[in-house]
C-alpha cells in the first residue's frame, strides 16, 4: 500500500479537477501538482498529531457541565448567566491585571451566520428574521466551548480558535426580536428561549434539538429574552412583554422532558395574599410584572430571588389603584415548589415603568 502526499503548491491553485487512484477519488487543485509517496511511520505521526488536536475538541462537548461548578466562584468555567448563582458576574482570576492589560492582542474573530444556511433547523414557524445579527448574550464557557444565543439562533464556538462547532437556527412565528440574554446548561443539555416564546433544549455536543415547549402565546405580544437558570433538576423560565395588558409568571421546567413542574403568578388571584392591593379580579389577571431578568439563588437557604417588572397598564395607574403586588418587587421563592417565602416591593403602584428588575446580588456581609 502506498501513502501519497500532495505537494503544498496544490493548495493555493484555484483550479479544481479530480484524480482517481486505485478505487479512491481525490480532488486536487491542479493536475500539475506533484504527488509524492511518504512512509507509513510519517503518515502515522501525522495522524497522531491530528488526533491529539481533534480528540480534546470532541471531548469538550461530551463531558457536559459538572453541576458542582454552579456552586463555586467562576474560575475554570462560566457555567451560568451570572457566572455563578450570586449574580456578581465576578471571577477571582488575576492572570490579566492592571499592569499587563495593555499588552493584550487579538487572538481570533468570530463572524456569525444568522441565517438557516448550513444550520440545524428547528422551529414552529416558517419565517426567518432578517434583522441584524447582534450578540447581546453572556456566553457560557464550559470545557473549552462557548455557548451563546441570539434571537432565533444558538451557537457552540471553540473558545481557543473561534471555530463554529455547530449552529442551531429557529424558524420563528414572529415576536419582538430585541435580543437574547443567553443559555442555561444541565449536564450535556442546553436551554434557551425564543422571541416567539418557546423554551428549546439542545444537545450540547451536536446542537441537535431535544425538545421545545411553548412558554406563552406570541399573539398576546409576549416575547422571551431571559437566560434560563438551572437549579438541580429545575429549569427556571421567565418572559417579557407589556404591549398588551397580560399577566406575568415564572415557571420551572423538567430538564429531561420540558414539562412544567410549577408556576408562580406575579400577580395574585382573588382571595390570595396580595389580592387586596388590586381593585378587582380583572386588573389582577392583566397586571403584568414580567420576570425578564434572570434570577439569583442562595443554596445555603434554598431561596430563589426573582426581580419582577412593571404593572400593567404600563405608566397608567388609573384602573389599578393600590400597591399592585407583586410587581416591581424582589420575591424569594422555594425553587422546589415555587412557593413564595417573602417579598420586598421597591416601587408600589409603579406608574413610571421603573420595574425592579435589577440583579439581586448576593454577598456575605460582616
Q: CATH number of the domain that 327 lies in?
A: 2.40.128
Q: What is the pLDDT of residue 213?
A: 98
> 10 Å Cβ neighbour count for 17?
12
Residue 101 falls inside a structural domain: no
| C-alpha–C-alpha distance, residues 208 and 128, integer Å | 19
Task: Give mean pLDDT, residues 160-176.
Answer: 97
Task: Give mean pLDDT, residues 128-156.
Answer: 93
Task: Give mean pLDDT, residues 119-144.
Answer: 92
Residue 97 falls inside a structural domain: no
Residues 222 and 73 in one domain: yes
CB burial string 303-325: b at 16+ within 10 A, e below: bbbbbbbbbbbbeeeeebebbbb
Residues 222 and 283 in one domain: no
Instruction: Tell me how long the chain is.
Output: 366
Listed residues 190, 206, 227: the one ending a domain:
227
Listed residues 207, 227, 247: the one ending a domain:
227
Cβ(223)–Cβ(215) below 8 Å: no
> What total number of domains does the chain contain?
3
Task: Give mean pLDDT, residues 28-49.
Answer: 52
The SS3 call for residue 47 is helix
Edge to edge, the sheet with strand 209-214 lists 184-186, 189-193, 198-203, 209-214
Residues 59 and 71 in one domain: no
Residues 275 and 365 in one domain: yes
Residue 103 falls inside a structural domain: no
Cβ(356)–Cβ(291) below 8 Å: no
Of the chain, the percentage scoring pLDDT greater than 70 comes to 83
User: pLDDT of 87-124, one tens digit each?
Assistant: 999 999 999 999 999 999 999 999 999 999 999 999 99
User: pLDDT of 201-223, one tens digit each?
Assistant: 999 999 999 999 999 999 999 99
Task: Compute the radius of gyration of the chain from its Cα atoms.
Answer: 25
Residues 48 and 193 in one domain: no
Residue 104 falls inside a structural domain: no
Q: Which of 63-77, 183-197, 224-238 has the lowest mean pLDDT?
A: 63-77
Q: What is the pLDDT of residue 38?
A: 57
Residues 243 and 351 in one domain: yes
| C-alpha–C-alpha distance, residues 83 and 89, integer Å | 5
Edge to edge, the sheet with strand 234-237 lists 229-231, 234-237, 249-253, 260-265
User: pLDDT of 259-296, one tens digit each?
Assistant: 999 999 999 999 999 999 999 999 999 999 999 999 99
- Residue 21 pLDDT exceeds 60: no
Which has the closest alpha carbon to 253: 285, 207, 210?
Answer: 210
Q: What is the pLDDT of residue 7?
A: 41
Residues 84 and 169 in one domain: yes
- Give the CATH number, domain containing residue 75: 2.40.10.480
Residues 82 and 210 in one domain: yes
Q: What is the pLDDT of residue 53?
A: 44
Strand partners, 122: 170
The SS3 call for residue 37 is strand
| C-alpha–C-alpha distance, residues 223 and 220, integer Å | 9
Residue 205 falls inside a structural domain: yes
Which residues does the annotation mark as catalytic?
353
> 10 Å Cβ neighbour count for 79?
25
Banded model confidence at residue 129, pLDDT cuts 50, 70, 90: confident
47 lies in which domain range? 3-66
Specify the DSSP class assigned to residue 308.
-
- Residue 15 pLDDT exceeds 50: no
- Residue 11 pLDDT exceeds 90: no
User: pLDDT of 312-345, one tens digit each?
Assistant: 999 999 999 999 999 999 999 999 999 999 999 9
Residues 317 and 360 in one domain: yes
Cβ(146)–Cβ(134) below 8 Å: no
| C-alpha–C-alpha distance, residues 233 and 231, integer Å | 6
Residues 152 and 74 in one domain: yes
Cβ(229)–Cβ(181) below 8 Å: no
Residue 99 falls inside a structural domain: no
| C-alpha–C-alpha distance, residues 164 and 61, integer Å | 13
Residues 74 and 61 in one domain: no
Listed residues 203, 227, 251: the one ending a domain:
227
Cβ(224)–Cβ(186) below 8 Å: no
User: Nearest 10 degrees: CA dihedral of 275, 349, 195, 186?
Assistant: -60
Which has the closest alpha carbon to 303: 273, 324, 330, 272?
Answer: 330
264 versus 14: which is more confidently predicted?
264
Residue 106 falls inside a structural domain: no
Residue 100 falls inside a structural domain: no
Cβ(356)–Cβ(328) below 8 Å: yes
Residues 219 and 302 in one domain: no
Cβ(236)–Cβ(230) below 8 Å: yes
Amino acid at each position: 500500500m502506498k501513502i501519497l502526499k500532495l505537494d503544498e503548491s496544490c493548495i493555493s491553485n484555484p483550479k479544481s479537477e479530480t484524480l482517481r487512484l486505485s478505487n479512491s477519488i481525490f480532488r486536487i487543485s491542479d493536475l500539475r501538482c506533484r504527488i509524492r509517496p511518504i512512509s507509513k511511520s510519517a503518515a502515522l505521526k501525522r495522524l497522531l498529531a491530528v488526533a491529539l488536536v481533534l480528540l480534546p475538541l470532541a471531548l469538550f462537548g461530551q463531558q457536559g457541565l459538572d453541576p458542582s461548578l454552579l456552586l463555586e466562584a467562576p474560575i475554570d468555567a462560566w457555567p451560568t448567566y451570572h457566572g455563578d448563582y450570586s449574580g456578581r458576574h465576578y471571577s477571582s482570576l488575576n492572570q490579566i491585571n492592571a499592569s499587563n492589560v495593555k499588552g493584550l492582542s487579538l487572538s481570533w474573530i468570530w463572524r456569525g451566520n444568522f441565517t438557516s444556511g448550513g444550520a440545524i433547523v428547528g422551529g414552529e414557524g416558517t419565517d426567518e428574521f432578517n434583522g441584524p445579527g447582534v450578540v447581546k448574550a453572556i456566553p457560557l464557557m464550559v470545557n473549552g466551548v462557548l455557548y451563546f444565543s441570539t434571537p432565533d439562533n444558538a451557537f457552540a464556538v471553540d473558545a481557543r480558535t473561534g471555530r463554529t462547532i455547530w449552529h442551531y437556527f429557529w424558524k420563528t412565528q414572529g415576536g419582538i426580536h430585541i435580543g437574547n440574554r443567553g443559555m442555561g446548561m444541565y449536564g450535556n443539555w442546553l436551554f434557551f428561549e425564543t422571541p416567539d416564546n418557546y423554551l428549546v433544549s439542545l444537545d450540547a455536543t451536536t446542537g441537535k434539538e431535544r425538545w421545545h415547549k411553548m412558554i406563552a402565546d406570541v399573539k398576546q405580544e409576549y416575547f422571551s429574552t431571559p437566560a434560563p437558570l438551572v437549579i438541580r433538576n429545575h429549569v427556571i423560565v421567565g418572559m417579557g412583554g407589556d404591549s398588551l395588558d397580560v399577566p406575568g409568571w415564572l415557571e420551572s421546567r423538567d430538564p429531561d422532558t420540558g414539562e412544567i413542574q410549577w408556576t408562580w403568578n406575579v400577580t395574585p388571584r382573588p382571595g390570595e395574599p396580595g389580592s387586596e392591593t388590586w381593585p378587582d379580579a380583572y386588573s389582577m389577571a392583566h397586571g403584568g410584572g414580567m420576570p425578564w431578568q434572570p434570577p439569583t439563588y442562595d443554596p445555603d437557604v434554598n431561596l430563589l430571588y426573582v426581580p419582577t417588572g412593571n404593572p400593567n397598564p404600563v405608566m397608567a395607574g388609573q384602573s389599578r389603584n393600590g400597591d399592585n403586588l407583586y410587581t416591581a418587587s424582589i420575591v424569594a421563592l422555594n425553587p422546589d415548589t415555587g412557593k413564595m417565602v417573602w417579598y420586598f416591593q421597591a416601587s408600589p403602584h409603579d406608574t413610571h415603568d421603573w420595574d425592579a428588575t435589577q440583579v439581586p446580588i448576593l454577598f456575605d456581609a460582616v
